[in-house]
Amino acid sequence: MGKQRVLSGVQPTGNYHLGNYLGAIRNWVEGQSQYENFLFVADLHAITVPHDPAKLAENTYTLVALYLACGLDLEYSTIFVQSHIPAHSELTWLFNCITPLNWLERMIQFKEKAVKQGENVNVGLLDYPVLMAADILLYDPDKVPVGEDQKQHLELTRDIAIRLNDQFGTPDKPVLKLPEPLIRKEGARVMSLTDGTRKMSKSDPSELSRINLLDSPEDIQKKIKRCKTDVTKGLWFDDPERPECNNLLTLYMLLSLKTKEAVAAECKDMGWGQFKPLLTETTIEALKPIQQKYQAVMEDKGYVESVMRQGREKAEAIASSTLLKVKTAMGYSMPF
- Check residue 283 for interaction with ligand TYM (CB under 6 A): no
Cβ 187 to ligand TYM, closest distance in Å? 6
Number of shown-chain residues binding ligand TYM (CB under 6 A): 24
- Check residue 235 for interaction with ligand TYM (CB under 6 A): no
Cβ 179 to ligand TYM, closest distance in Å? 9
Q: Please give the Cα distance from 132 to 285 (Å, whole number).
A: 34
- Only segment of 130-138, 247-255, 298-306, 313-321 that touches ligand TYM (CB under 6 A): 130-138
* Long-range CB pairs of 211-214, under 8 A, 24+ apart, other chains included: 211/17, 211/18, 211/283, 212/15, 212/16, 212/17, 213/16, 213/17, 213/18, 213/20, 213/21, 213/66, 213/70, 213/287, 213/290, 213/291, 214/16, 214/66, 214/291, 214/294
Active-site annotation holder among 143, 151, 177, 202:
202
Amino acid residing at 151: K
DSSP 43: T
Which residue's Cβ has the minimum distance to ligand TYM? 23
- Check residue 55 for interaction with ligand TYM (CB under 6 A): no
Cβ 144 to ligand TYM, closest distance in Å? 5
Of positions 144, 213, 220, 307, contacts ligand TYM by CB under 6 A: 144
- Check residue 196 for interaction with ligand TYM (CB under 6 A): no
- Check residue 79 for interaction with ligand TYM (CB under 6 A): no
- Check residue 77 for interaction with ligand TYM (CB under 6 A): no
Q: Please give the Cα distance from 128 to 126 (Å, whole number).
A: 6
Number of alpha carbons in the 13 Å side-chain half-sphere of residue 274:
9
Q: Please give the Cα distance from 44 to 67 (Å, whole number).
A: 18
**Which stretches of 195-242 are DSSP H helices?**
217-226
Which residues would be at the binding site for ligand TYM (CB under 6 A)?
7-11, 19-20, 23-24, 42, 45, 132, 135-136, 144, 146-147, 149-150, 188-190, 199-200
**Which positions are annotated as active-site residues?**
113, 199, 202
